[in-house]
Amino acid sequence: MTLINRFFASRWGVVAVGVFIGVLAPVLVKAGNPGNMGVCVACFSRDIAGALGLHRAGTVQYIRPEIIGMVLGALIAALAFREFKPRTGSAPLIRFLLGMFAVIGALVFLGCPWRAYLRLGGGDWNAILGIAGLIVGVAGGVVFLRLGFSLGRSRPAPAALGWALPLLMVGLLLLLIVEPQLGRDADGNATGPIFSSDSGPGSQYAPLIVSLIVGLGIGVLAQRSRFCTIAGIRDFILMRDTRLLGGILALIAAAFVTNAALDQFHAGFDGQPIAHTEHLWNFSGMALAGLAFTLAGGCPGRQFILSGEGDGDAAMFALGMIFGAGFAHTLTLASSSAGHGVYGLAAVLFGLVACIIIGLTMREPKSV
Amino acid sequence: MTEMATVDARGLSCPQPAMMTRQTVLKLGAGVIEVLVDTSTARDNCARMAQSNGWSVEIERRPEGEFRLVLRKWST
């Protein structure tokens, strides 16, 4: 156990996890997932929201087993290494809102930080704008952290609280397998939810068992190594700590090599899978996402992993992402391959203003 | 007996525990610092932060899943 712990705590442990994700994500694409979308926590939150009927965009509806696997994998690792620790009380409402803003920004770009790196590793140069925006957003978050921003302290909580999100994930898995038709149309015929896409990204997926196992593997490894696609940038800017940054660079390099080996590397701006070429939107969407993720303390994958460890505040962020993804499509905030959504600009501006207010006003109460 | 500075980062999420530890480490330059955290992530981050600044780290596991780190550095 100590040897394993020491390895994952080291620089090479994070690099190994980055390589694991960077190799397996393109393999998931080969196995059926949408292009450059082996793993995308924002896109998968959106697909889950669609399957549950939180939005009705017919092309993005599928309960993604990777997300379920990540949470349950983190739960297993946390239990095995005595790190399962139910806790809550660190501004759960604000975290829920940050989750909503983060996913809205990510869906303007069309991908979370994980997918931004995977898109880069697949030759989609639009990702460069997204990653540049992400860095600017993270840097903005660091400014607020230096000014004293804090979401306050969490407190230990009953075991049931820590188990809530993992059990919700088990429930999602059952819904995915059984696929009940819980709705009724105007004529009283059974219809979704659970919805499933006939075309588009939601109709493209690797076999359930493959997705679930890869998700479990990512969950275990990310829990052990604290892999985080935001903290890699944040810690470098904030403290010149490059440990987690190594994981990001390893992920991009491994995705590039694997995509090349699988004949999935296609360099350019135009015609990239589930991507658009509007540079300003790619940049600004991810700037919002980067700021929201930084204020919440970690990337979307990390939030789901922490939820598996019993962190009820991270679970609020994760739920905020799923609900936010529902709004992003219902209110036409999200982009598509054709370009930005009708209210995308308004959503990004609103989200930035809200995050700046949160960054300036949230402080740890003096009395604690 | 050396006076010990205390950093109480219990309940705070990343990156605050490491930031607070760094701030105290840089401010004191040398001496003894007690750091209280309640997750293993914060424990590892604070320990790594201190070690990279030349401090020795002693870790004690406390009840309720908390950790007490004692950081030491002799003035040169």
Residue A361, CB half-sphere, CA atoms under 13 Å: how many? 8
Residue B75: the pLDDT is 82
Q: What is the DSSP-derived secondary structure letter of residue B64?
A: G
Q: Measure the CA–CA gap between B8 and B18, rounded to whole angstroms.
A: 11
Please tell me which of the candidates B11, B14, B44 has its beta carbon nearest to residue A155. B11
Residue numbers of A between 293 and 322 with CB closer than 8 Å to B: 297-298, 313
Does the structure show a pLDDT above 60 at B1? no
Contact check, Cβ <8 Å, A239/B40: no
% of residues, chain A, pLDDT over 90: 95
Residue B64: the pLDDT is 82
Report the run of H or E that residue B24 belongs to, with start and end.
helix B16-28
CA A269 to chain centre: 23
Contact check, Cβ <8 Å, A226/B44: yes
**Mutant choice from B14, B37, B38, B67 vs A, greatest count of A C-beta within 10 A:** B14
Could you list the residue range(s) of the whole structural domain that residue A116 is in? Answer: 10-361
Contact check, Cβ <8 Å, A241/B44: no
**Tokens matching residue A230:** 């935001």
**CA angle centred on A302, ends A259 and A125, rounded to 5°:** 35
| pLDDT tens by residue, A340-349 | 999 999 999 9
Report the pLDDT averaged over residues B37-66: 94
User: Burial, A28: exposed, middle or buried (Cβ in 10 Å; 0-12, 13-18, 19+)?
Assistant: buried
How far does the CA of residue B42 sit from the closest CA of chain A (Å)?
10
What is the dihedral angle through the alpha carbons of A123, A29, A305, A166, rounded to the nearest 10 degrees? 160
Does the structure show a pLDDT above 90 at B72? yes
Residue A140: the pLDDT is 98
Residue A366: the pLDDT is 73
A154 touches chain B (CB under 8 A): yes
Q: Measure the CA–CA gap between A102 and A96, rounded to whole angstroms.
A: 10
pLDDT band (50, 70, 90) for residue B63: confident
**Mutant choice from A7, A138, A239, A363 vs B, greatest count of B C-beta within 10 A:** A239
Residue A2: the pLDDT is 80
Residue A367: the pLDDT is 58
Does the structure show a pLDDT above 80 at A332? yes
How far does the CA of residue A267 sit from the closest CA of chain B (Å)?
36
Please tell me which of the candidates A152, A154, A235 has its beta carbon nearest to residue B15. A235
Residue B52: the pLDDT is 92
Contact check, Cβ <8 Å, A297/B65: no
A1 in a structural domain? no
A343 in a structural domain? yes
Provide the mean pLDDT of chain A. Answer: 96
Spell out the domains of chain B, with CATH numbers in brackets. 4-73 (3.30.110.40)
Buried b (16+ CB within 10 A) or exposed e, A264-303: bbeeebeebbbbbbbeebbbbbbbbbbbbbbbbbbbbbbb
**Mutant choice from B41, B44, B49, B66 vs A, greatest count of A C-beta within 10 A:** B41
Q: Measure the CA–CA gap between A258 and B64, rounded to whole angstroms.
A: 44
A1 touches chain B (CB under 8 A): no
What are φ and ψ of residue B75, in 5° steps?
-70, 145
A243 touches chain B (CB under 8 A): yes
Paired residues of A155 in beta bridges: A88
Please tell me which of the candidates A83, A234, A243 has its beta carbon nearest to residue B40. A83
Give B16's contacts in chain A (Cβ within 8 Å): 145, 150
A286 in a structural domain? yes
A290 in a structural domain? yes
A104 in a structural domain? yes
**Mutant choice from A227, A230, A241, A303 vs B, greatest count of B C-beta within 10 A:** A241
A235 touches chain B (CB under 8 A): yes
Q: Count how many pairs of residues, chain A against chain B, have C-beta atoms within 8 Å.
A: 57
- Find the DSSP H helices in chain A: 2-9, 11-30, 41-51, 65-80, 92-109, 113-121, 126-146, 159-178, 208-225, 231-239, 243-261, 279-296, 300-308, 312-330, 344-361
Does the structure show a pLDDT above 80 at A368? no
Give B38's contacts in chain A (Cβ within 8 Å): 85, 87, 156
Report the pLDDT averaged over residues A136-150: 97
Please tell me which of the candidates B11, B48, B64 has its beta carbon nearest to residue A90. B11
Contact check, Cβ <8 Å, B39/A297: no
| pLDDT tens by residue, A149-167 | 999 999 999 999 999 999 9
Number of domains in chain A: 1
Residue A257: the pLDDT is 98
| pLDDT tens by residue, A265-298 | 999 999 999 999 999 999 999 999 999 999 999 9
Among the ranges given (A154-168, A207-221, B2-16, B34-48), the one the predictor scored with the smallest mean pLDDT: B2-16
